[in-house]
Chains A and B, each alone.
Chain A
Amino acid sequence: MNDRIEKRIELKAPVARVWRALTDHQEFGEWFRVKLDGPFVPGQVSRGHITYPGYEHLKWEAVVQQMEPERLFSFTWHPYAVDSNADYSKEPPTLVEFRLEKTPTGTLLHLTESGFDKIPASRRLEAFRMNDGGWTEQMKNIENHVAKKS
């Protein structure tokens, strides 16, 4: 069990190109499938609505955190907020960070989404797993169970 999601992807495009695709609100909207009301500005709320087929009724809302040109773009939001009747504002938001790194062939994009907990519970949970055979066994059962379902 982890409190964060991490992805790495190699893109065969220059860092400047990737940076634009991430931070130009229209370009971002094209691949993310969201229609944004205006440009991303650090410290400001970004609003819009999802254009992904079947999810058009959903609003997009994020707070832009950091924009360090060609290095780091981050925002906070409520992930997977697919229930339009639910009030997600009371839940703590997660932090999405896109980090860019130049490679010989293009750009390495490192995505993290963190803050699924507000406290370092996962680390404790990890320690717990290592300390107790019963729990390790239980976690294995859980993983098998989930793997079967998906």
Chain B
Amino acid sequence: MHAPLFAALGDETRLALLAQLSAGRPRSISQLTRGSTLTRQAITKHLRVLESVGIVHGVRAGRESLFEFDPQPIVELKQYLDRVSEQWDQALGRLKSFVER
């Protein structure tokens, strides 16, 4: 559930693409290729990986296909980690009462 998201983020090229997209404005593959040494195909492949975990979405603007950043998967991952963390706080609180009584 969360491992694919981490895996998608675990790549320099994809992080660089996200850095550009997270600035806010949706961008085309051409725009994203311009600032890179990679080919258009390579960029497209990386965008598909980001798309597969929902952190990037394709949007159409006229004839152009643009890509935009979506923070939701990261928000969900953070909420998930917060819940696990909260459960540990409760469990450790019970352990404390248990060993100190």
Contacts and interface: CB of A to CB of B under 8 A. Distances in A.
A138 B6 contact: no
Interface residues of B, number: 40
Given A91-B1, A141-B71, A11 B95 contact: yes
Contact of A145 (B1, B24, B75): B75
Question: B interface, by DSSP: helix, strand, loop or mixed?
Answer: helix
Given A80-B83, A125-B9, A134 B19 contact: yes
A117 interface: yes
B72 to A, nearest CB: 9
B32 to A, nearest CB: 14
Interface in A87-137: 91-92, 109, 111, 113, 116-122, 124-125, 128, 131-132, 134-135, 137
A121 B7 contact: yes
Contacts of A145: 71, 75
Interface stretch (A25-33, A41-49, A58-66, A67-75): A25-33
B30 interface: no
Interface residues of A, number: 48
Given A31-B95, A109-B92, A116 B79 contact: no
A18 interface: yes
A7 B95 CA distance: 13
Most chain A beta-carbon neighbours within 10 Å: one of B69, B89, B91 = B91
A80 B98 contact: no
B75 A5 contact: no
Contact of B87 (A9, A27, A80, A117): A80
Contacts of B18: 128, 135
Given A119-B10, A134-B24, 17 more contacts: A7-B88, A7-B92, A12-B100, A18-B99, A31-B95, A111-B88, A116-B77, A117-B7, A118-B7, A120-B10, A121-B10, A125-B15, A132-B22, A134-B22, A138-B22, A142-B71, A150-B79
Interface of B: 1-3, 6-7, 9-10, 12, 15, 18-20, 22-24, 69, 71, 74-75, 77-85, 87-89, 91-92, 94-100
